[in-house]
Structure 1
Amino acid sequence: MKIYNYRDLTQQKIEQLCSRQAEDDDLIFSRVETILSTVKSDGDNALFSFTEQFDKVKLNTLFIGKSELQALAEAIPLAVKNAIDIAYQNIYTFHAAQLQTEAKIETMPGVTCWREARAIAKVGLYIPGGTAVLPSTFLMLGIPAQIAGCKEIVVCSPPQSDGKINTYIAYVATLLNIEKVYLVGGAQAVAAMAYGTTTIPKVDKIFGPGNRYVTEAKKQVQNTLAIDMPAGPSEVLVVADDTANPSFIAADLLAQAEHGTDSQAILVATSAQMISKTISAIEKQLLDLPRKDIAAKAIANSYIIYAENLTEAMDFSNSYAPEHLILATENFKPLIPLIINAGSVFLGNLTPESAGDYASGTNHTLPTSGFAKAFSGVSVDSFLKKITFQHLTANGLNNIGPTVEVLATAEGLQAHRNAITIRLKEM
């Protein structure tokens, strides 16, 4: 990992370090564009073909139904089942509290305004299953969709080599009472949910993280439907001072790095000694990881920033806008008000990102690539839309009417004025 001194960095260099652009972005754009157009025109046939081409699986059917999901779920080891059950309950508890009924507001006598939430009718959930199977993502997306009351939940996940899905994914499907899991991954899954095929229904909004192809596909279909956010390769930024534990920091950085070779694991530290000890700990821990080759490549593409103090460290963090921000310090409380841009924050030396990834209750589907400057992570609100209502009594129309008449006249919109005037005359 290359080490930079924050005070030596120009604004241009900071912007370069915070950029997640890759050299082959244009190539991925064109490939995804081709996949989308092929699925749009050829439907199921394209899905069978792309699955054979990309996943090396020749399917006879594009989905697994409820009875087979239940059969697959029965093979889950008891320890994993119990862990998923605990995670489910924590995630459900945290997200259920997000359902709020807003008060009706009388903006002036006789004029009442309010908002009511309605679930998005059809949502599509993309559950990654390439180099790692992620039942945790299924929980993170399925539970808030369930709480919101979405009528139709379409789930796509790549097939395993046997043409099935992992027992963990199947078990989560049974917990969420999902009728079908569609055996489609990558950009083609996004296309299927965006445009619809004979087998896979068109949805109103697509959710879920994925690789660069999935992220690019979500960006390209935004003129057709809504997406949760741009959620591509995962990333973590750790802010650490001399109260941190270098072994903990190393473990957190490697936990991020093992996601994929394009993941980023950034350390911003105020102690040169802490940086040196963390590098040694990374080298030691890396040797024991089953996914060490993947993690090593991600670490090689990541970097370390030396900052003189925590204020400088937070300045860089806000410029980077990390998906995950870990404050590896005993003195995290004064830093909380300084956080402007971050997807999810992990406070103190005993709060690893892994807790939020799996079971603390917060959602791990978060904005990446700097989009934390404008996007929030997935929540129950992501599956809802808010409709505004207003009601005027006779007194309310009398009170607000003259104001509307004047404003409509000022804008030269006589019909708008008349809609008020004709009512006032009738009264």
Structure 2
Amino acid sequence: MRTITLTGAERLEPSDLERSGALPRKVMDAAQSIVDDVRMHGDAAVRTYCQRFDGICPGSFRVPDAVVSSAGKEVDPAFLKALERAYAHIRDFHERQKEQSWFTSRDDGTTVGVKVTPVASVALYVPGGRAQYPSTVLMDAIPAKVAGVQRVIMLTPPQRDGSISPYTLAAASVAGVDEVYAVGGAQAIAAAAYGTETIPRVAKVVGPGNAYVAAAKRYVSGDVGIDMVAGPSEVCVLADETADPVVVAADLMAQAEHDPMATCYLVTWDSSLPSRVFAAMEHLLVQSPREKITRESLDHGLVVCTTAPEAAIAAVDTIAPEHLELHCAEAWSMLARIHNAGAIFVGPWSSEPLGDYVAGPNHTLPTGGTAAFSNPLGVYDFQKRSSVIAYSREGVLNDAPSVQVLAQAEGLWAHALSAGLRIPLAHAQKDCFENEEAACENANHTAWPTVLDSPKASMKPERLS
């Protein structure tokens, strides 16, 4: 891990992070080519890419319901018990996020509000192949179900023998996934976005994946909804002199072992802590079955040393990490001062893996600094909001004149006419004009009964300087 030391008024700059930023052009181009092919040729193209990238293509993409529902019998009872505990915590947390429709009425009888409707159908992408992520199934499926999504399908690539991990299928069964398809990669995203002969088109695609999955999601966005374009995982530990270096080392390694591209940050104002953390890491790394991956990740990690807590907190906000751990004596008091983080783990007992699996909040989080403006996946990602506006006659009489004035300022004559035509109807307490031809006469006066005075001074550039 490289080290940056900030003194006095120095602050961490975004350029110090050396983030790679957008997806590489060659990855975007490859993903677009795959998506376009699947969109045009359907299942045939999907099969071609499954065989090319996964080395296997099942006879039918749809996994039989009986196989999914029986997966719980194939796993250790201890796993199933842990899965059900995680389900309970995650469900309880997300139930509290559910939004309800609301309406309010003004004194003149006008009603405005919001109608909340679940997204009709969703595809959950769950990485697979050589790995299995049953926790991702729970984190993506539960908020969709809480939101009321009627059709939740899961896309996950098969293993080399053509099967799907029983852990993943057991999670799908517990979470209430409606359909499972053994397909992964950019071709799976394309199939869900546009539909094929056997894979249904959905309204939204969510879930993490590799760079090609992320690129495909970005490409289809707009034709279908997506949650986010996720990059490599990351963790930031903000620590003071009370932090245990062994625990901090283990927490950094927990993120590093995900992926050589995962990024770890240690921010501290205790100058002695980094060396003690590094020493503990060496003792632990040689015992790790994922030592190679973990070391590769840690090699491009970053330590930020400051002389005061204020500079350390500012550095955290610049990083805007996916996961933030507060290993500080006054962790709760710091919470209000942190503005940019996907998930915040308060205090030394709050290990980030607890959040990955069982705490309850979602572990699908914004990465790459996007926590500065993005949110964790939640029930709100599976609900749509429609504004509702219902005017009364009295409400029209109160508000239509303001519409006419504002529309005139913007030069939108028909806008003003639309509002103005309702004024005589409201005064007469009628729903329709008795003489339609007469109603169309003198429309200019109906739209703009008075002419606005021109602005007193032209706001030319020289007047603004």
What is the TM-score with the length of structure 1 in the denominator?
0.95
Rate the CA distance shift 1:23–1:143 in 2: closer, same or farther, 3 A. closer
Partner of 1:159: 158
Match of 1:2?
Answer: 2
Corresponding position of 1:391: 390
Partner AA of 2:2 in structure 1: K
The structural deviation recorded for 1:23 is 10
Partner of 2:262: 263
Secondary structure in structure 2 of the residue aligned to 1:88: helix
CA contact (8 A) 2:23 2:211 kept: no
Deviations 1:329-383 (A, max 9, x none): 1211232122121111101111011111111100000111111111101000000
Give the Cα–Cα distance (whole angstroms) in 1 for the partners of residues 70 and 110 of structure 2. Answer: 57
User: Which amino acid is the alignment partner of residue 223 of structure 1?
Assistant: G
**d(CA) in 1 for partners of 2:114 and 2:280?**
52
Q: Report how far residue 3 of structure 1 moved.
A: 1.5
The alignment partner of 1:265 has SS state of: strand
Query: Aligned AA for 1:150?
Result: V
Partner of 1:250: 249
- Taking the aligned partners of 2:7 and 2:187, their CA distance within structure 1 comes to 45
Q: State the Cα RMSD in Å.
A: 2.0
For 1:48 and 1:275, locate their aligned partners in 2 and report how far apart those are by CA, in whole Å: 50
Q: CA deviation at 1:9?
A: 11
Shift of 1:131: 4.5
Corresponding residue for residue 312 of structure 1: 311
- The answer to whether the Cα contact below 8 Å between 1:230 and 1:371 also exists between their aligned partners in 2 is no
Aligned residue for 2:343?
A: 344
Q: 1:267 Cα shift? A: 0.7
* Identity score, percent: 35
Q: Does 1:180 align with 2:175?
A: no
Task: Please report how far the alpha carbon of residue 403 of structure 1 lies from its aligned counterpart in structure 2 after TM superposition.
Answer: 1.6
Q: Distance in 2 between matches of 1:37 and 1:133?
A: 28
CA distance in 2, matches of 1:223, 1:382: 15
Contact 2:129 2:160 in 1 (8 A): no
Check the 8 A contact 1:322/1:369 in 2, yes or no.
yes
The aligned counterpart of 2:442 is none
Are the aligned partners of 2:151 and 2:178 in contact in 1 as well (CA < 8 Å)? no
Partner AA of 2:152 in structure 1? I
Q: Which has the higher relative contact order, 1 or 2, with Cα contacts under 8 A spaced 6 or more apart?
A: 1
SS in 2 for 1:378: coil
| Structure 2 equivalent of residue 216 of structure 1 | 215
Give a deviation string over 1:399-418, Cα, whole Å, max 9, x none.
22222222223223232222
Q: Work out whether residues 98 and 380 of structure 1, in 8 Å CA contact, stay in contact via their aligned partners in 2.
A: yes
Query: For residues 201 and 158 of structure 2, what CA distance do their matches in structure 1 show?
Result: 20
Q: Which has the larger radius of gyration?
A: 2
Cα displacement string for residues 134-168 of structure 1 (whole angstroms, at most 9, x for unaligned residues): 11111011001001111221210111122111111
The worse-fitting range, judged by mean Cα deviation, of 21-30 and 404-413 is 21-30
The question of whether the paired residues in 1 share the 8 Å contact of 2:246 and 2:277 is answered with yes
Structure 1, 160-169 or 359-368: larger mean CA deviation:
160-169
Aligned to 2:193: 194
Give SS of 1:229's match: coil
For 2:446, the equivalent position in structure 1 comes to none
Moved more, 106-115 or 265-274: 106-115
Is 1:30 equivalent to 2:29 in the alignment? Answer: yes
> In structure 2, the residue corresponding to 1:100 is in which secondary structure?
coil
Q: Could you tell me which residue of structure 1 aligns to residue 380 of structure 2?
A: 381
Cα distance, 1:92 vs structure 2: 0.4
Report the equivalent of 2:276.
Answer: 277
- The aligned amino acid for 1:181 is V
Question: What letter matches 2:393 in structure 1?
Answer: A
Give CA-to-partner distance per residue, 1:258-300, whole Å, 9 cap, x none: 1111111111111121111111111111122222211111111
TM-score, normalized by length of structure 2?
A: 0.87
* Counterpart Cα distance in 1 of 2:130 and 2:334: 36
CA distance in 2, matches of 1:183, 1:6: 50
Matched to 2:274, the amino acid is I
- SS of the aligned residue for 1:124 comes to strand
Q: Does the 8 Å contact 2:365/2:376 carry over to 1?
A: yes
Distance of aligned partners of 1:393 and 1:35 in 2 relative to their CA distance in 1, 3 Å threshold? same
Give the count of matched residue pairs.
426
SS of the residue 2:40 aligns to:
helix
